Structure 1
Amino acid sequence: MMKLHPMKTLLAGTAIAMAALGASADESVRAQEAAAPAIPEEVTDRIDARFLDYQTEQHVPGLVWGIVKDGELVYFKTSGVGNLETEAPVTSDSLFSIASMSKAFTALAILKLRDEGKLYLDAPAEYYVPELRGWTYPTTDSPRIRVRDLLAHVSGLVTDNPWGDRQQDMPEDVFTEVLKEGVPFERAPQMAYEYSNFGYALLGRIVTNVSGMPYEDYIRTEIMLPLGMTSTGYDVYAVDQNRRALGYRWEEGAFSKEPALGPGVFGAMGGVMTNADDYEKWVTFLLDAWPPRDGEETGPVKRSTVRELSQGLNFPRVYERDGLEEGETCDVAMTYAMGFAVSAECDLGTTLAHSGGYPGYGSNVLLMPDAGVGIFAFANRTYAAPSRIVREAALELAKAGEMPAREWPVSDVLADAYAATGDVYEQDSLAPLDGKLAMNFTMDASIPVRERVLADLKEQAGACETDAPFKANGHLSGTFTWTCENGQMDGWLLMSPNNPPLVQELDLSFTPAI
């Protein structure tokens, strides 16, 4: 391998056991195809098999799953029943509790109020919830909890999943008394990530106090309804009960119905009930915030604000996750942002995800904004969140080449520099870049040295197709690959931060054909 830059290294780039449910597999499995299917059948068959196996193994009465791609629901499927007594099948209209996947709605409501100038993320939460002013903190030097700390679960409050999942219907006046009494802390705020449902209930109170209306009314009228989510809300008793996928527990070889949780304070952390028809609109809206671009805002919240849901407070955790094949593993770095856990992983790139687990329900959503793809699934069995299967579905799509990253448009300045790079190679000279080089370029390596390296590269590579597409990484950098007579030439082009941008780095790396 040889390089044009002599001093640096190139950047290298099922079916459920239906006898127990009193229905046949044929009756329970219902596929709903999009108008223009975009995923090969052999891929969706593998994905379906994973969900159906999960349904059987985990004793899930009813399961729905869908794939959103480039603004469309390109695949959706259902299996099983929403009511064991009536044997009514689950459909795209069946209403499920999505539990903690509700947190993203609360987080976006906070950001929307910030956009409206009604609150500040770095303000102490007690500015908006006066009952917090008398709280006793763990140490005398503990900072006060900020609104931002609540969003990212770094408030110092203790993890409360088992307890919090049973608090949804807590009345406002009871919550007020709890706040007045104060709560114990696990640690000082801003020290570590620790998941807190109580913290998101506090965010709901902030939305209520700042907006002047109950948090559920603000979120529904300002976010859900503008998106067309007319069947989505927080009151299980206000919906058509025939549309509900009833929640069940599997215990000692039998199903039992879980009691419904009515509306209340803790609904801000887990109270949303929705269906697939509505939820795909939510997923589409979120994914549409990427990439940043010019153009009219069409949603109830600005695209740049939606992208803030992926910004955390840098308390990362690292996990090892299995791949599709036995023995395959992937290191995943994760941090909690705002209503989503954000990961960087080897197989899927940047992801936003959240599970929901409640008495009677389990759910999961996984967004891959760089590819414009989202996958979600709802189940009606206690804590049956199919997060592993949703991720495996994403891996199946990636393996099949169905999730290419969205391409950045090539800016004029990059296009001009890239065209000159091709001329440099054709002419065996850096002269085509005259007037386009940043001041560091000749200081890092002289023109004669660079041209000698270029001559060596060309001797090995031979003629190259220098008009190959350029792949931008942003407005000022990118990569390219040329097919040459004797192998492959990989290149990296980086412009300077001054105006106009000039070429500060150009690397060429040749790999001979085997």
Structure 2
Amino acid sequence: MMKLHPLKSLLAGSVLALAALGASAEEAVAAPDAAAPAIPAEVTDRIDARFLDYQTAQHVPGLVWGIVKDGELVYFKTSGVANLETEAPVTADSLFSIASMSKAFTALAILKLRDEGKLYLDAPAEYYVPELRGWTYPTTDSPRIRVRDLLAHVSGLVTDNPWGDRQQDMPEEVFTEVLKEGVPFSRAPQMAYEYSNFGYALLGRIVTNLSGMPYEDYIRTEIMLPLGMTSTGYDVYAVDQDRRALGYRWEEGAFSKEPALGPGVFGAMGGVMTNAEDYEKWVAFLLDAWPPRDGEETGPVKRSSVRELSQGLNFPRVYTRDGLEEGETCDVAVNYAMGFAVTAECELGTTMAHSGGYPGYGSNVLLMPDAGVGVFAFANRTYAAPSRIVREAALELATAGELPAREWPVSAPLADAYSVAGAVYEQGSFTPAEGKLAMNFTMDATIPVRERALADLKAEAGACDTGAPFRANGHLSGRFTWTCEAGDMEGWLLLSPNHPPLIQELNLSFVPAP
């Protein structure tokens, strides 16, 4: 079960440094630890140093960062101020705009409505927003925009970050007139990824039309409040203003306050205001959807639906990203899914990430679902999204061995097949496997041929510990390593797709000791 704990009871300390205002990282003062740290201090020290250096270099008045693991906030820090005039420090309770990180809430609301039987992802969006029916598309063979296209930014609408970031407070009636008039297209839908805030505003309209309430009310009552996110919402003017981390711009060597944007249509793409105490509950809830399993559903949206947030439309882009060491790089494939960019990382495995950049604010979150770990950070300076530093924090965790993949349970068929594999090796014969082999096994190589190869392996490796743990990577396959007299035996076991599952492949490879 997902565990949600009050953030204040889990703080590993807080830094109250005015790094962006001239104080150095060395001058940061840490509060006493509330408990023994879940992550070694030498690791968190390196992570803190990266965030503090970023804060100074980027002129960020206030910065918070945290690490969530297995449903708990295991590390959290703050640095700097929420208000330059009063010098009030940022805290776990400070409210930040998280800008485009709001898109994940809108995407999940769409999936929840789908689960309620109110929409189809592959239906044309005009089914749910009638004003779209009169739109003129770029070519006569252009497909109509689907709901799924809006989620994945493949609707053909033009990239609109500079423009969209200033539209949050657009009233519903104005948006309706814009929709009736139609918009220009950048390309035909379903041809390529192109990030569109307008598209997520359209998703907000779909939520409003199908739920019978404003999108922000639906998301707050159906998703946020059930998670205990009582301080999170869309109306900057409805919160205690003393709790706000005010947004600032750094320009020509000085700070100036950015005007706040009130609630409106484009809040569906970037209007969420939250604090670290609430956001860690959101991160814990998302990560709890992995791995798939039996058991009671404990969240406001099904685990299987949450996992859909990582499914894109296969328009990947390739980037080269730096590692922790100078000259160390990694080519990664990035695919936008639903409210998250999904990446195949060299050191981190599958990641889900999103930045938030707004007038006065910058933020980033990086989820590593295979490890059950998430890193997030909020800043109160225009477009100061600490994306690179959040990723570097994750790389520090990986380098220190703090991101082990969560283990798949070993299914009964796999456990039985693994026992058979051990007996086959120990006896040097496939007799223990009688009745356990798929029909292809003896066709791919005869038993006499396999037994001669097995004898050669045993002569080289000697006796092996065939009771070593089995590492499943699904219900029907996995790997194992046996420690042998002369080295290690690496094994791969794959079962067949029929009932009962039988051994269709058993590979053994010996690695001599150095």
Q: TM-score range by the shorter chain?
A: over 0.9
Q: Which residue of 1 aligns with 2:289?
A: 289
Where does residue 184 of structure 2 map in the other structure? 184
* 2:363 aligned partner: 363
Secondary structure at 1:177's aligned position in 2?
helix
Which residue does 1:448 correspond to in 2? 448
In structure 2, do the counterparts of structure 1 residues 373 and 32 end up closer, same or farther at CA, with 3 Å as the change threshold?
farther
Please state whether the residue corresponding to 1:448 is helix, strand or coil: helix
Shift of 1:37: 2.5
Give the deviation of 1:29 after TM superposition: 4.7
Q: Which amino acid in structure 2 is aligned with residue 466 of structure 1?
A: T
Which residue does 1:387 correspond to in 2?
387
Shift of 1:346: 1.1
Q: 2: CA distance between counterparts of 1:293 and 1:33?
A: 35
CA distance in 1, matches of 2:245, 2:138: 43
Amino acid in structure 2 at the alignment position of 1:492: W
TM-score by length of 1: 0.95
Structure 1 stretch displaced more, 19-28 or 353-362: 19-28
In the TM superposition, what is the alpha-carbon distance from 1:511 to its structure 2 partner? 1.1
- 2: distance between equivalents of 1:68 and 1:172? 37
- For 1:330 and 1:62, locate their aligned partners in 2 and report how far apart those are by CA, in whole Å: 31
Q: In 2, distance between residues paired with 1:132 and 1:392?
A: 43
SS for the counterpart of 1:268 is helix
SS at 1:395 equivalent:
helix
Aligned-residue sequence identity (percent) comes to 89
Separation (CA, whole Å) in 2 of partners of 1:127 and 1:451: 63
2:126 aligned partner: 126
Q: Distance in 2 between matches of 1:444 and 1:36?
A: 55
Q: Aligned AA for 1:294?
A: D
Cα contact 1:121–1:146 (8 A) shared by 2: yes
Separation in structure 1 between the aligned mates of residue 68 and residue 395 of structure 2, nearest angstrom: 15
Matched letter for residue 452 of structure 1: R
User: Any residues of structure 2 matched to 1:240-389 within 5 Å, and which?
Assistant: 240-389=240-389
Residues 479 and 493, structure 2, Cα contact 8 Å, conserved in 1: yes
Change (3 A) 1:24 1:241: farther
Rounded Cα–Cα distance in structure 2 between residues aligned with 1:439 and 1:21? 71
Q: How many residues align?
A: 500
CA deviation digits over 1:263-307, x for unaligned, max 9?
000000000000000000000000000000000001000000100
Residue of structure 2 equivalent to 1:214 = 214
User: What amino acid maps onto 1:109 in structure 2?
Assistant: A
Letter in 2 for 1:292: P
- Amino acid corresponding to residue 336 of structure 1 in structure 2: Y
SS for the counterpart of 1:295 is coil
Further displaced range: 45-54 or 33-42: 33-42
TM-score, normalised with respect to structure 2: 0.95
CA distance in 2, matches of 1:379, 1:492: 46
- Secondary structure at the aligned position of 1:378 is classed as strand
Gaps of 5+ in 1: 1-14
Q: In 2, distance between residues paired with 1:351 and 1:417? A: 32
- The answer to whether the 8 A contact 2:17-2:27 is kept is no
Deviation at 1:363, TM superposition (A): 0.1
**Corresponding residue for residue 137 of structure 2:** 137
Secondary structure of the structure 1 residue equivalent to 2:107? helix
From the superposition, tell whether residues 271 and 28 of structure 1 become closer, same or farther in structure 2 (CA, over 3 Å). Answer: farther
Are the aligned partners of 2:342 and 2:352 in contact in 1 as well (CA < 8 Å)? yes
Q: Decide whether the 8 Å contact of 2:150 with 2:199 is kept in 1.
A: yes
Higher RCO, 1 or 2 (CA under 8 Å, sep at least 6)? 1
Partner of 1:74: 74
**Paired position in structure 1 for 2:166:** 166
Moved over 2 A (4+): 15-37
1:322/1:394 CA distance change after superposition, 3 Å: same
Aligned to 1:409: 409
Q: Is the 8 A contact 2:94 2:243 kept in 1?
A: yes
Structure 2: stretches of 5+ with no match in the other structure? 1-14
Q: Secondary structure at the match of 2:192?
A: coil
User: Contact 1:16 / 1:59 at 8 angstroms: preserved in 2?
Assistant: no
Structure 1: distance between partners of 2:35 and 2:99: 31
Question: Alpha-carbon deviation of 1:21?
Answer: 3.5
Secondary structure of the equivalent of 1:331? strand
Q: Name the structure 2 match of 1:12.
A: none
Query: Secondary structure of 1:325's partner?
Result: coil
Task: Look up the match of 1:508.
Answer: 508
Corresponding position of 2:47: 47
- Aligned counterpart, 1:193: 193
Pair 34,119 (structure 1): closer, same or farther in 2 beyond 3 Å: farther
* Separation of aligned partners in 2, 1:360 and 1:82: 11
The aligned counterpart of 1:436 is 436
Tell me, in whole angstroms, the C-alpha distance in 2 between the residues paired with 1:298 and 1:511: 45
Rounded Cα–Cα distance in structure 1 between residues aligned with 2:173 and 2:112: 26
Instruction: Give the match for residue 478 of structure 2.
Output: 478
Aligned to 2:55, the other structure's residue is in SS state helix
SS of 2:190's equivalent in the other structure is coil
* Cα RMSD, aligned residues only: 1.5
- For residue 9 of structure 2, what is the aligned residue in structure 1? none
Instruction: After superposition, give the CA deviation of every residue in 1:160-194 in whole Å (9 maximum; x if it has no partner).
Output: 00000000000111101111110000000000000
2:5 is aligned to: none
How has the CA–CA distance of structure 1 residues 19 and 509 changed in structure 2, closer, same or farther, with 3 Å as cutoff? closer
**In the alignment, which residue of structure 1 is the partner of 2:10?**
none
CA contact (8 A) 1:16 1:52 kept: no
How many angstroms apart in 2 are the aligned matches of 1:448 and 1:351?
46
Query: Which residue of 1 is the match for residue 110 of structure 2?
Result: 110
The answer as to whether partners of 2:375 and 2:390 remain within 8 angstroms in 1 is yes
Aligned mates of 1:300, 1:385 — CA distance in 2: 29
Q: Is the CA contact 1:31–1:78 (under 8 Å) kept in the aligned structure 2? A: no
Determine if contact 2:170/2:265 at 8 Å carries over to the other structure.
Answer: yes
State the distance in 2 between where 1:137 and 1:33 align: 59
Q: Give the match for residue 460 of structure 1.
A: 460
Q: Name the residue aligned to 2:64.
A: 64
Q: Distance in 2 between matches of 1:286 and 1:347?
A: 21
Aligned residue identity for 1:40: P
Q: Deviations over 1:302-353 (max 9, x none)?
A: 0001001001111101111000001111111110000000111111000000
Contact (CA 8 Å) 1:362, 1:380: kept in 2 or not? yes
- CA distance in 1 between counterparts of 2:32 and 2:329 reads 33
Deviation at 1:38, TM superposition (A): 1.2
Contact 2:168–2:265 (CA<8 Å) still a contact in 1?
yes
Given residue 228 of structure 2, which amino acid in structure 1 is its aligned partner?
A: G
Is the contact made by 1:68 and 1:375 (CA closer than 8 Å) also made in structure 2? yes
Q: Relative to 1, partners in 2 of residues 1:355 and 1:138: Cα closer, same or farther, differing over 3 Å?
A: same
Amino acid corresponding to residue 176 of structure 1 in structure 2: T
Write the deviation string for residues 184-215 of structure 1: whole angstroms up to 9, x where unpaired: 00000000000000000000000000100000
Aligned partners of 2:27, 2:346: CA distance in 1, in Å?
39
